[in-house]
C-alpha cells in the first residue's frame, strides 16, 4: 500500500500548488502561448523565480509539463484535469478535526466523505487519490494522536465517538477497504491496521501545512513573510514538533543500518586504534548518539572493554535547544555538547580544543539528513563554477529571497562544503545519511513507488538543497572523499532510483571528477600511452564524448595530474550492441536510455600496478547504481592475449583460467572480477583489431539482479577474486545459477529486503509486518518477486498473502500450473524462471513494448520497420471501417470529447441508444453499459457475492476477472479456483457449499490464449443442480460467434455471443453475461445483461457504475456505428475471418506445429514450447515483418510458450501467406535448435 500512502502525500502538496497556478492563470497562459521559458512565465505571472521553478519541476514530474531542449515548457494532455479539481478542497487544511472527533462539530466531514466516496466526480483515480490525501492525512494523524485506531473486544473501533461520527468514519473506512462490518461491530481489516500503523509516515508532509496554506504567496507573492521566525525561534511555515515526530518515525530503519557501519569500526582490533570520540553534527535531541552508544556497548568488541577503552560522545548543533535536549537524552553517558555550524567544521575543531579535546584525529564523525539543510555559502572558486556550467544538473534550489540558485553554482557550493569537511575528516572517516532528489522523468516513472514528487517539492519550497545521489557522490569524490563500498547502502534497495544513501566516507590520495573540455590534451595523452595507434580514440572522438554526455565521463587525478579516465554513454538496451560495429557506437547514445555503456577505461601504464583501475571501475559502477533510471552497465571489450591462443576458438579461450582460478585474459578478467558477465561475442566489431580478429566481447554488469553482488551489499564485487564458475559458454545470456525451489526464491527475496540486520526475525509463518517490513519494504519485495517469478502482483497482494508460507503457497497453487491444472516441479520452476528472466527482463523479444508511428491497413510502422499486425484484437476490422470513422466527428460536435457526469447523475442519450441496440442484438430486455470490462468486473462481482458468497473461477479466466474475485474476497467472499474446463473438479468444489449460499461460477466465453471455449450447456446443467449462477465474460466471443451456427456459417449469425451460439436463455439458465466492445467493435466500453428487465436497478449500485464517468463519446459513437455495420456487413466480415483463420491454422498444423485453436475462432496460438527458443523465433518473425503477441509465462504455463496470432477482417490473403511463410522459417529454425 505504499502506492496509496504516496498518492495521499503527493496530493497533499501538489493540489495547493496546482490550484495556486490555476488561479494565477498559469494553465491558461501555456494553453495559448507555448512553449515558454521560465523567464517568460515569471515575467508574465509575476512569480518568484526559485519557488516557481520548484512548482514547474513538480508539474513536469507529474508529466503535466514537457520541457524541450531549449528548456521551454508546454502543457501535456494530462494537465487538462486541472479544471476538474474543486477549488474548495483547500478548506480541508483548516477543518477542526479535533473538535469533530470530540462530537462538537458532528457532520463536519460528511460532505467531504461523500465526495471522496464518489471519487470526487473524477474519472482519474490518481487525482482522486491526490484529493483524498487532503482529507485522510489530517484525519489519520488525529485518530493516531488520540489512539482512536486501537480496538479490542471490550472497545470496538470508534466506539468512544458519537454515533454520527462513527457512521461517517465507518462509511469512509468501509469504502477504502480499511474496515469491515462484523456482527454488531466495525473492525479494521489488515489493510486498515497497516494504514493506521503508518499514519506517522504522513506527519512530515503534514507538518508543512502552514506553508502549503500560503503557497500562493510562496509562488507569486511575499514569500519572505511565509518563512518568518520569531524571537523565540518559532518558524511560521512549519509545525516543527510534528516534523520531528514524523522524521524520527521514518528514520528508524536507516539508523538500524547505520549500526552495521558502526560495528565495522568498533569490532576491529586492536581496540586502542579505534576512535576515542563520536561526533554527531546536527545532533538534534541526541537520540542517534544514544543509539550508537547502545550499539557499541551491547554488540561490539569495544563494548566489552569500554572501561579500559572509554568512549566519549560529542553532540554538535547550531540550536541551543537541541543541545539542551541532547544533554538530557545522554544523561550519565560520557559526553560533550557544543554549538557548531555544519558550514564551518574547522571552527568546530577549534571549539573542541577549547573544551580539552586536543586529538581530533581520534574522532569518528557521523551525521544524518543534514547536508541538504545547511546554510547556502556562495562558492569561492569562480573558475570551477565556470567549468561546470555546461553540465546539465537537474536540482532546483531556492535562496532566502525566493530566487533560483543556478544548479551548477549550488553543486560547486556543495563541493566546497565537502572540501571543508575533507580537511577535518580523520583516519576514522565520516558517516553520512543523506536524502536526495530525483530527475522529473524518474519521479514520473516511479510516481507510486517513490516519495519524491511531494518531498522534492516541499524541500525545495523551504530552501533545502537536495541534489541527486550520484551528484552528491561525485561532489565528495572531487575532494578525495570516497565511500567504503562494502558498507554503502542505498534506498530503495531494488528500484533503479536512489532517494537516500548511507555512505561511510574515507579520505584517499586521489580525486575523481567530471572530465572537462580543458582536459582534452591530457585525455589524448592517455590514449597514446594506453593503446596502440590503430586502437586509439582521436581527439575529435574524445571531444564528442565530452560534449554528447558531459556527466558520463570521469577523470582520476593524483597530485594534480590526470592519470585515468572512464567514458560512457546511455543506450536503450544491451541488445542494440549485439550486431553493432565500432564506428556505429556513438549513434546509439540517447539521454533517455536505461543502460550505461562503458566506452573506455584508461589508466596510465606507470600507475596500473596500484589498483587504480579497479578503484575507478568500482566508483563508476557505484555511480551508475545511484543514477536514477539506470538498470545495467555494459561494454564491448577486447582480449589482450588472444593473439597467443588464436589456434582455439574465442569461446574456448574465454574459459581459460590461471592457477589462481582467475580468467587468463587480464582485460576480460578485469571486468569479470568486478562483477561483469560475458554476454557474447560480436563478430566483425572492430576489423582493425587484428589481434582479436575483429571480435568484441560483450559484457554486462547487471546492477539490479539479486543473483549478482548488489553494489554496497557484498564486498565480493569490489575484490579481484575470480568468479570463474560464472563464465558461460558463449554465446550466453547469464551466469549459471543455482536451482532454487519456489520456497527458496521467496525466502531469498524476503531476506534481501529485510537486510542482514533483521534476518534473524525471519520466520515462514510470521507476518511480514511483524518481521519489521514497512511499506517501502513491501513495495520492494513486490518488485523483486515480480522480477524473479515474472508475474504482476496487485497492490494488496501482501494483505491476502501476508506470510512467506502464504506467498509460497500462492505461487505454487495459482501460478505454476501445467495446462492450468498440474503443478510443475520446483526444480523445473527454477530453470524456467531463469529462462524467463533472460527472455523478459533483458527485453530481447522485438515484439514487446514497441511504439507504432504509422498505420496502413493492417500494417504498422515500428522503428522504421513495416510489419503486419497480428497482435490487435479488432476482429471485425471496425477500427479501420470508413462508416465507423465517419460517425465520430458528428458525435463529438454534439457532445464534446467527454461529458464527465457520473451516471448516478446523468448520461448522454447515446448511452441509452447503445444499450437499446445491444438489447436488440442479444434478444434481452435490457443491458447496462460500463466504461470497460475491468471496471465492470471489479464493481459487479463483489456486489453479486456480498460478504458471504462463493466464487468458483476457472483457473484460465481472464486476469481482470481474477483481480475482481480477489477484491470480492477482501470483502468477505470465498474465492476458489478449479481446473480449466474441468466440470468434475468444479462439481466436487460446488458440493462443499449449501444450496442456499450464493455461488457464482466464473468462466470466459472464448479463452484469450488457448482459443477454446466451455461446454456451456453442461455448465448450465451443473449450475442448476447446485443452485449457482454462471458469470461469463465473452469479450473474445461477442461479435464473432452467434446464433444458429451451420456448415455455411460455422460462427453462426449476428455475432450475438456464446449464449445464443448454444441456443440458451439468459434468465432461465441463470447466466450473467458480460462482454467488452474493445475487441470486435474496437470501442472502449463493456456491458452486462442477465435477461432481466431490472438489470439497471440491480447492478447500477456497483460502485464502478456510480463513480466512473461515461465512456468517451468517440467510443460510444463508434460502437453504435459498428453495430450498424454489423447488421449490414457482419456475416460477410465473419466469413472472411473464418476463411483466413482456417487457412492459417491448417497450414501451421501442416508445417508440423501444435496449434491451440477450437472452431477456427480468430485466436491462433502456435506452440513453441521451451521459452528459451522464443528470442530467436520472435526475431525471425520480426525479420519476416510479422507482429504477434509473444505468449510467455505467466500469460501461459511455463513450458507452453507460444506465438499468438489475432486475425481480423482487415487482414488480407497475402498477409496470411506471409505469416505462413514466416512460420515455415520458424519451423526450420526450431528443428536446428533441437
Q: Tell me the pLDDT tens digit for each residue of 217-232.
A: 999 999 999 999 888 7
Helix H segments across 301-434?
301-304, 320-330, 345-354, 382-387, 407-422
CATH top-level class of 240-368: alpha beta
297's CB contacts (< 8 A; 6+ apart) are: 303, 306
Residue 809: burial class (beta carbons within 10 Å; 0-12, 13-18, 19+): middle
Q: How far is CA 416 from CA 120, 344, 425, 477, in A?
A: 49, 11, 14, 12
pLDDT class for 826, splitting at 50, 70, 90? very low
**938 backbone dihedrals φ, ψ, rounded to 5°:** -70, -20
Per residue in 742-771, pLDDT tens? 788 888 888 888 877 677 888 888 888 888
Question: Is the pLDDT reported for residue 829 higher than 60?
Answer: no
Closest CA to 908 of 1062, 1111, 710: 1111
Residue 769 near residue 802, CB atoms below 8 Å: yes
**Residue 1185: CB atoms within 10 Å:** 16
Look at residue 820 in the predicted model and tell me its pLDDT: 38
Percent of the chain residues past pLDDT 70, beyond the cut: 91
Look at residue 997 in the predicted model and tell me its pLDDT: 87
Question: Is the pLDDT reported for residue 733 higher than 60?
Answer: no
Look at residue 1048 in the predicted model and tell me its pLDDT: 85
Look at residue 819 in the predicted model and tell me its pLDDT: 34
690's CB contacts (< 8 A; 6+ apart) are: none
**In the numeric block, which cell numbers belong to residue 608?**
596500473
1179's CB contacts (< 8 A; 6+ apart) are: 844, 845, 846
**In the numeric block, which cell numbers belong to residue 710?**
548488489
340's CB contacts (< 8 A; 6+ apart) are: 281, 316, 317, 318, 347, 348, 351
Average pLDDT over residues 390-416: 96
Round to whole Å and give the CA distance between 582 and 597: 13
Of residues 500 and 69, the one with the higher pLDDT is 500
Average pLDDT over residues 935-939: 88
**In the numeric block, which cell numbers belong to residue 1140?**
483466413
Pairing, β 1201-1206 against β 1163-1169: antiparallel
Range in 823-827, 995-999, 1116-1120 with the lowest mean pLDDT: 823-827
Q: What's 1006's DSSP letter?
A: S
Angle at the Cα of 107 from the Cα atoms of 106 and 110, rounded to 5 degrees: 155
**Residue 1120: CB atoms within 10 Å:** 20
Look at residue 822 in the predicted model and tell me its pLDDT: 35
Cis check: omega of the bond before 1079, within 30 degrees of 0:
no
Round to whole Å and give the CA distance between 570 and 631: 11
Look at residue 224 in the predicted model and tell me its pLDDT: 95
Question: Is the pLDDT reported for residue 514 higher than 80?
Answer: yes
Closest CA to 933 of 797, 1179, 1104: 1104
Mean pLDDT of the chain: 87
Average pLDDT over residues 679-685: 92
Range in 430-444, 649-663, 1089-1103, 1156-1170 with the lowest mean pLDDT: 1089-1103
Look at residue 738 in the predicted model and tell me its pLDDT: 35
**Helices and strands (DSSP H and E) totals, the chain:** 44, 39
Question: Is the pLDDT reported for residue 907 higher than 80?
Answer: no
Architecture of the domain spanning 841-879+1130-1232: Alpha-Beta Complex (3.90)
Of residues 15 and 1109, the one with the higher pLDDT is 15
Per residue in 203-217, pLDDT tens? 999 999 999 999 999
Average pLDDT over residues 818-847: 42
Of residues 364 and 819, the one with the higher pLDDT is 364
Question: Is the pLDDT reported for residue 159 higher than 50?
Answer: yes
3-class secondary structure, 854: strand
Question: Is the pLDDT reported for residue 397 higher than 90?
Answer: yes
Q: Where are the domains of the chain?
A: 1-217, 240-368, 382-508, 519-701, 742-813, 841-879+1130-1232, 899-1111
Highest mean pLDDT out of 115-124, 628-637, 924-933, 970-979: 628-637
Per residue in 962-972, pLDDT tens? 888 888 887 77
Range in 1-5, 15-19, 624-628 with the lowest mean pLDDT: 1-5
316: left (phi over 0), alpha (psi -120 to 50) or beta: beta
DSSP string, 466-520: ---HHHHHHHHHHTTEEE-GGG-EEESSSSS--SEEEEEEEE-S-EEEE--GGGH
pLDDT class for 740, splitting at 50, 70, 90? low
Average pLDDT over residues 658-685: 90
Look at residue 142 in the predicted model and tell me its pLDDT: 95
Of residues 428 and 728, the one with the higher pLDDT is 428
Look at residue 734 in the predicted model and tell me its pLDDT: 31
Question: Is the pLDDT reported for residue 1222 higher than 80?
Answer: yes
Per residue in 1158-1177, pLDDT tens? 888 999 999 887 766 787 88
Q: How far is CA 1164 from CA 404, 694, 1037, 1140, in A?
A: 59, 44, 14, 11
Average pLDDT over residues 172-183: 84
Per residue in 479-505, pLDDT tens? 999 999 988 999 998 888 999 999 999
Evaluated on CA atoms 401, 405, 409, 413, the torsion sign reads: positive
3-class secondary structure, 1030: strand
Question: Is the pLDDT reported for residue 706 higher than 70?
Answer: no
Percent of the chain residues past pLDDT 90, beyond the cut: 60
Per residue in 860-877, pLDDT tens? 998 888 999 999 889 999
Question: Is the pLDDT reported for residue 421 higher than 50?
Answer: yes
Residue 1081 near residue 1125, CB atoms below 8 Å: no
Instruction: Select from 3.40.50.300, 3.40.50.280, 3.40.630.30, 3.30.110.40 the CATH code of 519-701.
Output: 3.40.630.30
Look at residue 526 in the predicted model and tell me its pLDDT: 96
Average pLDDT over residues 924-935: 89
The fold of the 899-1111 domain, in CATH, is 3.40.640
Per residue in 310-368, pLDDT tens? 999 999 999 888 999 999 999 999 999 999 999 999 999 999 999 999 999 999 999 99
Q: What's 235's DSSP letter?
A: B
Residue 825: burial class (beta carbons within 10 Å; 0-12, 13-18, 19+): exposed
Round to whole Å and give the CA distance between 935 and 360: 65
Instruction: Select from 1.20.1250.20, 3.40.1440.10, 1.20.200.10, 1.10.1200.10 the CATH code of 742-813.
Output: 1.10.1200.10
Average pLDDT over residues 693-717: 62
Look at residue 727 in the predicted model and tell me its pLDDT: 34
Look at residue 1233 in the predicted model and tell me its pLDDT: 66
Round to whole Å and give the CA distance between 1114 and 908: 12
Amino acid at each position: 500500500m505504499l502506492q496509496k500512502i504516496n498518492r495521499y502525500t503527493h496530493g497533499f502538496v501538489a493540489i495547493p500548488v496546482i490550484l495556486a497556478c490555476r488561479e494565477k492563470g498559469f494553465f491558461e497562459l501555456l494553453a495559448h502561448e507555448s512553449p515558454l521559458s521560465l523567464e517568460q512565465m515569471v515575467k508574465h505571472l509575476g512569480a518568484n523565480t526559485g519557488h516557481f521553478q520548484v512548482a514547474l519541476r513538480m508539474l513536469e514530474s507529474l508529466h503535466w509539463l514537457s520541457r524541450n531542449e531549449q528548456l521551454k515548457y508546454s502543457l501535456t494532455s494530462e494537465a487538462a484535469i486541472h479544471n476538474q479539481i474543486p477549488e474548495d478542497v483547500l478548506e480541508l487544511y483548516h477543518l477542526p478535526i479535533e473538535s469533530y472527533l470530540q462530537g462538537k462539530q458532528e457532520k463536519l466531514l460528511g460532505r467531504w466523505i461523500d465526495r471522496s466516496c464518489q471519487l470526487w466526480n473524477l474519472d482519474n483515480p490518481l487525482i482522486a487519490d491526490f484529493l483524498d490525501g487532503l482529507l485522510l492525512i489530517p484525519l489519520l494523524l488525529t485518530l493516531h494522536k488520540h489512539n482512536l485506531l486501537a480496538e479490542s473486544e471490550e472497545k470496538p473501533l470508534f466506539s468512544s465517538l458519537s454515533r454520527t461520527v462513527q457512521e461517517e468514519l465507518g462509511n469512509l473506512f468501509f469504502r477504502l477497504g480499511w474496515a469491515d462490518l462484523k456482527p454488531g461491530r466495525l473492525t479494521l481489516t489488515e489493510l486498515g491496521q497497516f494504514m493506521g500503523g503508518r499514519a506517522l509516515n504522513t506527519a512530515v508532509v503534514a507538518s508543512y501545512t502552514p506553508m502549503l496554506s500560503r503557497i500562493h504567496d510562496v509562488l507569486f507573492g511575499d514569500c519572505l513573510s511565509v518563512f518568518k521566525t520569531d524571537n523565540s525561534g518559532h518558524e511560521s511555515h512549519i509545525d516543527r514538533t510534528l516534523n520531528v515526530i514524523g522524521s524520527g518515525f521514518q528514520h528508524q530503519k536507516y539508523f538500524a543500518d547505520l549500526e552495521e557501519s558502526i560495528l565495522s569500526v568498533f569490532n576491529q582490533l586492536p581496540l586502542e586504534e579505534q576512535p576515542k570520540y563520536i561526533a554527531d553534527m546536527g545532533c538534534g535531541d541526541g537520540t542517534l548518539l544514544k543509539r550508537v552508544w547502545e550499539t557499541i556497548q551491547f554488540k561490539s568488541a569495544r563494548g566489552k572493554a569500554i572501561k579500559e577503552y572509554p568512549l566519549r560522545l560529542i553532540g554538535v548543533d547550531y540550536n541551543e535547544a537541541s543541545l539542551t535536549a541532547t544533554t538530557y537524552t545522554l544523561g550519565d553517558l560520557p559526553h560533550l555538547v557544543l554549538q557548531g555550524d555544519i558550514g564551518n567544521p574547522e571552527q568546530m575543531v577549534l571549539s573542541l580544543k577549547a573544551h580539552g579535546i586536543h586529538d581530533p584525529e581520534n574522532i569518528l564523525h557521523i551525521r544524518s539528513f543534514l547536508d541538504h539543510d545547511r546554510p547556502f555559502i556562495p562558492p569561492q572558486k569562480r573558475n570551477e563554477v565556470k567549468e561546470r556550467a555546461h553540465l546539465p544538473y537537474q536540482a532546483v534550489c531556492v535562496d532566502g529571497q525566493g530566487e533560483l540558485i543556478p544548479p551548477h553554482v549550488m553543486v560547486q557550493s556543495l563541493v566546497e562544503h565537502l572540501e571543508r569537511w575533507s580537511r577535518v575528516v580523520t583516519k576514522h572517516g565520516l558517516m553520512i545519511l543523506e536524502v536526495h532528489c530525483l530527475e522529473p522523468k524518474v519521479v514520473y516513472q516511479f510516481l507510486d513507488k517513490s516519495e519524491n514528487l511531494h518531498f522534492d517539492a516541499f524541500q525545495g519550497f523551504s530552501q533545502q538543497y537536495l541534489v541527486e545521489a550520484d551528484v552528491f557522490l561525485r561532489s565528495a569524490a572531487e575532494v578525495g572523499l570516497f565511500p567504503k563500498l562494502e558498507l554503502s547502502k542505498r534506498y530503495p534497495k531494488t528500484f533503479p532510483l536512489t532517494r537516500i544513501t548511507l555512505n561511510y566516507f574515507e579520505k584517499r590520495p586521489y580525486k575523481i571528477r567530471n572530465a572537462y573540455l580543458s582536459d582534452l590534451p591530457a585525455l589524448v595523452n592517455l590514449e597514446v600511452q594506453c593503446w596502440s595507434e590503430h586502437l586509439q580514440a582521436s581527439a575529435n572522438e574524445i571531444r564528442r564524448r565530452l560534449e554528447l554526455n558531459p556527466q558520463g565521463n570521469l577523470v582520476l587525478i593524483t597530485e594534480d595530474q590526470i592519470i585515468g579516465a572512464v567514458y560512457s554513454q546511455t543506450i536503450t538496451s544491451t541488445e542494440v550492441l549485439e550486431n553493432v560495429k565500432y564506428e556505429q557506437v556513438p549513434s546509439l547514445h540517447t539521454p533517455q536510455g536505461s543502460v550505461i555503456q562503458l566506452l573506455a577505461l584508461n589508466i596510465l601504464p606507470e600507475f596500473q600496478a596500484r589498483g587504480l583501475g579497479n578503484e575507478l571501475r568500482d566508483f563508476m559502477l557505484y555511480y551508475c547504481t545511484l543514477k536514477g533510471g539506470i538498470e545495467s552497465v555494459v561494454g564491448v571489450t577486447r582480449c589482450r592475449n588472444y593473439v597467443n591462443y588464436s589456434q582455439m576458438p574465442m569461446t574456448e579461450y574465454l574459459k581459460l583460467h590461471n592457477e589462481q582460478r582467475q580468467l587468463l585474459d587480464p582485460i576480460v578478467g578485469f571486468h569479470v572480477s568486478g562483477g561483469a558477465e560475458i554476454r557474447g561475442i560480436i563478430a566483425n566489431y572492430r576489423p582493425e583489431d587484428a589481434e582479436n580478429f575483429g571480435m568484441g566481447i560483450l559484457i554486462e554488469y547487471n546492477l539490479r539482479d539479486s543473483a549478482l553482488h548488489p553494489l554496497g551489499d557484498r564486498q565480493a564485487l569490489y575484490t579481484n577474486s575470480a568468479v570463474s564458475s560464472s563464465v558461460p559458454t558463449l554465446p550466453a545470456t547469464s551466469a549459471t545459477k543455482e536451482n532454487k525451489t519456489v520456497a527458496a526464491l521467496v525466502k531469498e527475496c524476503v531476506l534481501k529486503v529485510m537486510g542482514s540486520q533483521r534476518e534473524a526475525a525471519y520466520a515462514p509463518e510470521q507476518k511480514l509486518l511483524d518481521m519489521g517490513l514497512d511499506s517501502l519494504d513491501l513495495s520492494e519485495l513486490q518488485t523483486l518477486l515480480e522480477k524473479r517469478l515474472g508475474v504482476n502482483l496487485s497492490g494488496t497482494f501482501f494483505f491476502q498473502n501476508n506470510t512467506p508460507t502464504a506467498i509460497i503457497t500462492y505461487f505454487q497453487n495459482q501460478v505454476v500450473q501445467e495446462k492450468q491444472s498440474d503443478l510443475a516441479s520446483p526444480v523445473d520452476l527454477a530453470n524456467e524462471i531463469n529462462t524467463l528472466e533472460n527472455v523478459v527482463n533483458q527485453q530481447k523479444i522485438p515484439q514487446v513494448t514497441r511504439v507504432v508511428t504509422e498505420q496502413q491497413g493492417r500494417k504498422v510502422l515500428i522503428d522504421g520497420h513495416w510489419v503486419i499486425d497480428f497482435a490487435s484484437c479488432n476482429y471485425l476490422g471496425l477500427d479501420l471501417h470508413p462508416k465507423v470513422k465517419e460517425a465520430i466527428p458528428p458525435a463529438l460536435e454534439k457532445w464534446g470529447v467527454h461529458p464527465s457526469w457520473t451516471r448516478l447523475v446523468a448520461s448522454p442519450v447515446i448511452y441509452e441508444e447503445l444499450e437499446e441496440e445491444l438489447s436488440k442484438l442479444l434478444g434481452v430486455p435490457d443491458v447496462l453499459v460500463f466504461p470497460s470490462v475491468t471496471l465492470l468486473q471489479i464493481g459487479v462481482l463483489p456486489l453479486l457475492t456480498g460478504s458471504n458468497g462463493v466464487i468458483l473461477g476457472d483457473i484460465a479466466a481472464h486476469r481482470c476477472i481474477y483481480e475482481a474475485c480477489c477484491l470480492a474476497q477482501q470483502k468477505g467472499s470465498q474465492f476458489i479456483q478449479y481446473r480449466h474446463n474441468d466440470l468434475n473438479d468444479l462439481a466436487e468444489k460446488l458440493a462443499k457449499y449449501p444450496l442456499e449460499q450464493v455461488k457464482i461460477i466464473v468462466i470466459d466465453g472464448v479463452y484469450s490464449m488457448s482459443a477454446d471455449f466451455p461446454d456451456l450447456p453442461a455448465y448450465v446443467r451443473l449450475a442448476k443442480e447446485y443452485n449457482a449462477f454462471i458469470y461469463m465474460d465473452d469479450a473474445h466471443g461477442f461479435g464473432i460467434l452467434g446464433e444458429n451456427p451451420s456448415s455455411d456459417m460455422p460462427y453462426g449469425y449476428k455475432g450475438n455471443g456464446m449464449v445464443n451460439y448454444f441456443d440458451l436463455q439468459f434468465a432461465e439458465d441463470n447466466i450473467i453475461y458480460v462482454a467488452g466492445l474493445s475487441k470486435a467493435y474496437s470501442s472502449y466500453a463493456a456491458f452486462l445483461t442477465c435477461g432481466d428487465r431490472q438489470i439497471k436497478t440491480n447492478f447500477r449500485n456497483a460502485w464502478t457504475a456510480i463513480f466512473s464517468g461515461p465512456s468517451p463519446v468517440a467510443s460510444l459513437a463508434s460502437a453504435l456505428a459498428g453495430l450498424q455495420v454489423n447488421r449490414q456487413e457482419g456475416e460477410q466480415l465473419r466469413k472472411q475471418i473464418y476463411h483466413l483463420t482456417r487457412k492459417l491454422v491448417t497450414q501451421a498444423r501442416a508445417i508440423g506445429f501444435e496449434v491451440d485453436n477450437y472452431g477456427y475462432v480468430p485466436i491462433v496460438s502456435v506452440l513453441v514450447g521451451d521459452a528459451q527458443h522464443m528470442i530467436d523465433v520472435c526475431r525471425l518473425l520480426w525479420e519476416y515483418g510479422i507482429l504477434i503477441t509473444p505468449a510467455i509465462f505467466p500469460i501461459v504455463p511455463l513450458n507452453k510458450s507460444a506465438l499468438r496470432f489475432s486475425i481480423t477482417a482487415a487482414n488480407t490473403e497475402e498477409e496470411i501467406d506471409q505469416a505462413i511463410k514466416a512460420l515455415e522459417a520458424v519451423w526450420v529454425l526450431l528443428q536446428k535448435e533441437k
